[in-house]
Amino acid sequence: MEKKGPKPSLTVGREELLVDGSDELFRTLVHNLFAFLNRHEAIRSGHAKYIGLAGIEYSILISISRLQNNQDVSIKAVGDHLHVTGAFVTRVVHKLVELGLVHKEVSPADKRRVSLTVTADGMRKLNELSPIQRKVNDVEFASLTRGEFVALAGIVERLVADSSNAVALQSYLEETAANAKPEPAARHRAKH
């Protein structure tokens, strides 16, 4: 007879996330997402290394190159695009400017902002990478049909927003729990 331990508590409560009352598929999804994200990070790092950059430097460089086709690119626009803080983008952009890959100037539309563009050297590096990038990205997403790809893009966009809300809730719950704990001196007085 196979020995079984106690059944773990559910990690989700929404009926939409339970299959036959079980959260096993949810747990499998979460673990598969970790595996995918770890591999995707390795791919991003490989793309970056090919052009002599760190992963986040590459991400910001390629984001600026894409965004500059449709708008005046500010620090905030890059931060919003990548879901990171403006302060973080500012630090990385400073390095990209020093490397001669990004040009930064006062925005003609708003003198309080900077406008970012990828330099000719930056575009040359991205263009050198693109044949390899296409091959690797095509293999990474090889199992998806066009419909699945479009659906996945929409789902992930919604999950980014949901996960931001979840992080905020987790922080609030941690803070609430920390504030609910009595101070050691108060606990000591309460015993007497």
Using one digit for the tens of pLDDT, what is the confidence trace for 136-181? 999 999 999 999 999 999 999 999 999 999 999 999 999 988 888 7
If asked whether residues 69 and 107 sit together in one domain, one would say: yes
Which of 142, 163, 183 is where one domain is finished? Answer: 142
Report d(CA 122, CA 106) in Å as an integer: 20
If asked whether residues 53 and 124 sit together in one domain, one would say: yes
If asked whether residues 49 and 129 sit together in one domain, one would say: yes
If asked whether residues 38 and 97 sit together in one domain, one would say: yes
Q: In the chain, pLDDT over 90 holds for what percent of residues?
A: 80
Cβ atoms of residues 100 and 94 within 8 Å: no
Q: What single-letter amino acid sits at 162?
A: D
Q: How many domains does the chain have?
A: 2
Which distant-in-sequence residues (6+ apart) come within 8 Å of 95 by Cβ? Answer: 57
With respect to residue 13, please indicate whether it lies within any of the assigned structural domains: no
- DSSP annotation of 22 reads B
Give the pTM.
0.82
If asked whether residues 50 and 82 sit together in one domain, one would say: yes
If asked whether residues 160 and 136 sit together in one domain, one would say: no
